[in-house]
Structure formats: C-alpha cells, structure tokens
Amino acid sequence: MSQRLSRRSLARYAADQLLGGSSAKSVARHLAAALITSHSQKAASLLLDDINYELQSRGHLASATVTSAYPLSTSLKKEVTSLVKKLAQVRQVVLAEQIDKTVIGGVRIQTAEGTWDKTVSAELSRLKENI
C-alpha cells in the first residue's frame, strides 16, 4: 500500500539524508522516484526550494541568489557570502550570481527564508510608492 508523501516530508527526508552523509546523486534518485510515484514531477522545482529551506533552517547550508547589474568582484562575493552566513545563521553559503541590467545598480540577495533588495530599480519603485 503506497502512501503519498508531502513535499515538505520529502524535503525533510532529503535534508536528513544529505546531512547524514548520503551522496547528492543517491538522494536525487530517491526523490525522483518519489515524485514519479506520486505523479508530482512538476513540483520538482518547489521541492528543491523546500530542501534549501530545510538545510538553511537547520543552520547548515543557505543557497543565495545575488542579482546585480554588473558582475560582482571577488571581494564583493566574499562580503555577500559572509553577510548571508550572518543573516541566515548557516555554516555554508552557495552563491548563484545573476546579472540583470534592469536593476540599474545595487544588489538583491534572495535566500530560501527571505529577500534583501537594495537595487536601484527597487529603490525607484519605493520612491514612486512613497510619492
């Protein structure tokens, strides 16, 4: 008798496995099987977000997407990494850099638990709203 697992449960299971030393490939295989069995293949992206959240909430790993108009220098990346460690209270940080000219300037940091938007475009939007 098959029991359908929730996405949250799967995320917890994956975090447990990864933190327990299982290889990412093995965990990914198990998750794929679970998604196929429950016909929830479309939820794969959301499941990854949930796993990130689980890992971050356990203080182990935070995945952060950093968006800026120009590529970040190495020193800036280090600053961002240490900042995210501090904000998310995790031991490791994985940065995903994203270049977007529409932000004009500044930086936007997105993690599983929150977003810090200090881009010029966001400031302009806030200015519009305030006016």
Contact predicate 62/88, CB 8 Å: yes
Footprint on residues 24-83 left by another protein (CB under 8 A): 68-70, 72-73, 76, 79-80, 83
Q: How far is the CB of 97 from another protein (least distance, A)?
A: 12
Contact predicate 29/37, CB 8 Å: no
- Stretch of 20-28, 34-42, 92-100, 122-130 contacting another protein, by CB under 8 A: 122-130
Q: How far is the CB of 126 from another protein (least distance, A)?
A: 10
Give Dmax over CA atoms of the chain in angstroms: 60
Q: How far is the CB of 59 from another protein (least distance, A)?
A: 19
Contact predicate 122/108, CB 8 Å: yes
| Interface with another protein (CB under 8 A), residue from 12, 104, 110, 113 | 104
Q: Token pair of 69, please?
A: 């108009």
Q: Give dist(CA 11, CA 69) in Å, integer.
A: 33
Binding residues vs another protein (CB under 8 A): 68-70, 72-73, 76, 79-80, 83, 86-87, 104-107, 109, 116, 118, 120-121, 124-125, 127-129, 131
